[in-house]
Amino acid sequence: MADNLLEIKGLKTYFYTEDGIVRALEGIDLHIEQGETLGLVGESGCGKTVTALSVLRLVPDPPGKIIEGEILFEGVNLLALSESDMRQIRGNDISMIFQDPQSALNPVFTVDNQLREVIELHQGLDKKEARQKAIEMLDLVGIPDPEARVEDYPHQFSGGMKQRVMIAMALSCNPKMLIADEPTTNLDVTVQAQVLDMINNLRKELGTTVLLITHNLGVIAEMSDHVGVMYAGRLVEYGDADTIFHAPLHPYTIALHEAVPRVTEKKQKLGVIKGVVPNLIYPPSGCRFHPRCDFSTEVCEKEQPKGEWVGDHYVECWHRREGTKL
Amino acid sequence: MNPIMEIKNLEKYFPITAGFFGRKVGDIRAVDNVSFDVLPKEILGIVGESGCGKTTLGKTILRLIEPTAGEILFEGKDVSTLGTSELKEFRKEAQMIYQDPYSSLDPRMTVYDIIGEPFDIHGELKSGEKKKVILRLMSEVGLAPFHIYRYPHEFSGGQRQRIGIARAIALKPKLIVADEPTSALDVSVQSKILNLLSDIQKEEGLTMLFITHDLSIVRHISDRVAVMYVGVVVEMGKEEQIFEKMYHPYTEALLSAAPIADPRRKRKRIILTGDVPTPANPPKGCRFHPRCRYAKENCATEIPQLRDMGDGHFVACHYPLI
């Protein structure tokens, strides 16, 4: 078995709001192997982004707080580090790209300025060396004429180009792990293909481990080695990509597949999941999916199902759907 | 079959102005010389990337924005020349469902007011009947009767979209333009709304123009598909013609870029270089030629016209893929 770069154990992150405690993450166990891409998929509010922010300890506090659990990065518990040690990890070892490159870049500084800030801070290079490195990074992510473009402001770049700049910035310190939170959600499909292709190439070239967060099953299928499916603050299923797409065990994973229209075939009718995503201030008792599940019984209502491992495949359900073929 | 709507050489230019006096310095050619027919009771998908003019096209067809030139014939009558009272009649026949269920509903109106407003404007119902009709419409789109006096903020995104759909079908229109009706919704909510739209379309015998950037949605819902690129329709045909044997290099690249939700199907992507050009300064000749891998010399100078390749499959390309 490959080494785990990151291991999350029993992670609970809550938000203390005026309306009550939002139980955004209710005990998550997850690991990422060295050099792989792990795709995390789920609908809005399921806790994908909170998981990423918890790893970097960027959960806004207040109202958010990591209540319990361990996040082991190369064996070191990030939750036990001091803030200044954590700063060394961010950017150097783990960096993140966000969904909206428009709001993640500062509009009043040039790209050169913003890239150099990262490089000077983390790598201790002087201004001239840092600039050289900035140009190299822009070249690496495929921005044409990087010597000239480095002097431009963010508004002079298109959406896809801005996302490339963000990726250049995130990779400029050669991190061991890159967290990409919906990196292509705002991009057009042809530009999305360019950016995904680039992330894949860089990952092979630099050996970066990637945590990819998205709601798009197509992007997950094209990019991931392993896939984690989240629902209402729990990891309900985990396995290699082929298993999750062709032999899933959890009713939610199956329902999600059936609800998505495909570009490769025309379905007669889309599958439907009854009900709505629960409010995490008052999450359902027992299995959080039970009110929407077609297979729920009394036990699902009363008790949180115990997660089970079948080889490399993890599932959290009282009534696993064995033998489902998709 | 006679078309319910014929679009002929439709153009919509937005002026670009500069300076204190708003001097006109150019045009954004959002929709440029577009012609096609819409058949009765079909769902015509219009697909393209952002800025290709698909939303402008939808709004111009309903005359929510005025066309610059061209004809829009709805059941033989030119919509672009209708006077105020005729236009009001046309509005009964043609309705729109909007992309954003958050901003397209008035926050100070209840569901009763929102769905009832079309009846108030067109004065078609006696006051005693109104509530009954509204309740029937609500049950048709899957809203519970007790929702009737609630305000939009009390609903989720999917439920709001249901209110928008109920409002659009209230007057039993013949044509509905749906502009990205599910792009703000989660996957599990999206499937419910798509199912609802195709059920309603069948039951009411509606004609629908379905505008989206999502290729899998367009394949799922459409009978025929039009592919747009920088203000022009580059290819049009039946759903299986577009998805299985496309003629236009742009359609080919667009489809190959769409991620497939199946790790076993790795296909060769055609990665287009560069970005989508701006409609303010579109490339000369074929608008796709700077990014096209099959482009030849005359592609840069001659504009290809949309032509019939047989069996209702149209393409605007000098060198279609055959």
Kindly report, residue by residue over B67-104, the tens digit of the pLDDT. Answer: 999 999 999 999 999 999 999 999 999 999 998 888 89
Q: Do B259 and A188 touch (CB under 8 A)?
A: no
pTM, to two decimals? 0.88
Amino acid in the structure at residue B241: Q
pLDDT at site A2? 58
Is A293 near chain B, with CB under 8 Å?
A: no
pLDDT at site A276? 83
Distances from the Cα of B250 to the Cα of A145, A320, B220, B227, angstroms: 26, 44, 20, 9
Chain B residues close to A271, C-beta within 8 Å: 191
State how far residue B4 is from chain A, nearest Cα, in angstroms. 26
The pairing of strands A37-41 and A209-214 is parallel
How many other C-beta atoms can be found within 10 angstroms of the C-beta atom of residue A107?
9
Chain A residues close to B220, C-beta within 8 Å: 261-262, 266-267, 270
Residue of A nearest to B263 (CA): A221
Which pLDDT tens digit goes with each residue over A18-66? Answer: 989 999 999 999 999 999 999 999 988 899 999 999 999 999 888 999 9
The pairing of strands A4-17 and A64-73 is antiparallel
Name the band, by pLDDT with cuts 50, 70 and 90, for residue B281. Answer: confident
A interface mutation test: which of B187, B193, B217, B218 has the most A CBs within 10 A? B187
Cβ-proximal residues to B193 (8 Å cutoff; 6+ apart), any chain: B158, B161, B162, B165, B181, B182, B185
Which pLDDT tens digit goes with each residue over B189-235? Answer: 899 999 999 999 999 899 999 999 999 999 999 999 999 999 999 99
Chain A residues close to B244, C-beta within 8 Å: none
Which pLDDT tens digit goes with each residue over A201-212? Answer: 888 888 899 999
Asked whether the predicted pLDDT for residue A324 surpasses 80, the reply is no
Is B275 near chain A, with CB under 8 Å?
A: yes
What is the mean predicted confidence (pLDDT) over A115-122? 88
Tokens 């958050």, residue located: B102
pLDDT at site B152? 93
Rg of chain B taking only CA atoms, in angstroms: 21
Residue of A nearest to B264 (CA): A242
Is B278 near chain A, with CB under 8 Å?
A: no
Name the band, by pLDDT with cuts 50, 70 and 90, for residue A74. Answer: very high
Average pLDDT, chain A: 89
Q: Which of B50, B188, B257 sits opposite A259 (nearest CB)?
A: B188
CB pairs below 8 Å between A and B: how many?
125
How many other C-beta atoms can be found within 10 angstroms of the C-beta atom of residue A308?
12
State how far residue B99 is from chain A, nearest Cα, in angstroms. 15
| Sequence ranges of the domains in chain A | 91-215
Phi, psi angles (nearest 5°) of residue B215 = -65, -35
Asked whether the predicted pLDDT for residue B301 surpasses 60, the reply is yes
What residues 208-227 of chain B have any CB closer than 8 A to a CB of chain A?
Answer: 213, 215-217, 219-221
Amino acid in the structure at residue A100: D
pLDDT at site A1? 47
Asked whether the predicted pLDDT for residue B110 surpasses 90, the reply is yes
What residues 200-219 of chain A have any CB closer than 8 A to a CB of chain B?
Answer: 215-219
Cβ-proximal residues to A308 (8 Å cutoff; 6+ apart), any chain: A314, A315, A316, A320
CA distance B143 to B152: 13
Name the band, by pLDDT with cuts 50, 70 and 90, for residue B237. Answer: very high
The pairing of strands B207-212 and B175-179 is parallel
CA distance A216 to B137: 33
Q: Does the domain formed by A91-215 have CATH 1.25.60.10?
A: no
Answer whether the bond into residue B40 is a cis peptide, omega within 30°: no
Q: Which of B49, B191, B221 sits opposite A271 (nearest CB)?
A: B191
Asked whether the predicted pLDDT for residue A323 surpasses 60, the reply is yes
Average pLDDT, chain B: 91
Is A198 near chain B, with CB under 8 Å?
A: no
Is A236 near chain B, with CB under 8 Å?
A: no
Residue of A nearest to B186 (CA): A43
Calculate the CA dihedral of residues B92, B98, B101, B104 and round it to 10 degrees.
-60
A interface mutation test: which of B160, B197, B213, B216 has the most A CBs within 10 A? B216
pLDDT at site B264? 87
Is A190 near chain B, with CB under 8 Å?
A: yes
Structure tokens at A257: 């597949």
pLDDT at site B157? 87
pLDDT at site B317? 95
Which pLDDT tens digit goes with each residue over A228-284? Answer: 999 999 999 999 999 999 999 999 999 999 999 988 888 778 998 988 888 889 999
Which pLDDT tens digit goes with each residue over A93-106? Answer: 999 988 888 888 89
Is A158 near chain B, with CB under 8 Å?
A: yes
Chain A residues close to B261, C-beta within 8 Å: 217-218, 220-221, 245, 257, 260, 262
- The packing angle between helices A127-140 and A159-171, to 10°, is 130
pLDDT at site B211? 95
ipTM, 2 dp: 0.84
CB A8 within 8 A of CB A31: yes
- A226 DSSP β-pair partners: A38, A240
Query: E strands of B79-229, at which residues?
Result: 94-97, 175-179, 207-212, 224-229
Chain A residues close to B216, C-beta within 8 Å: 218, 260-263
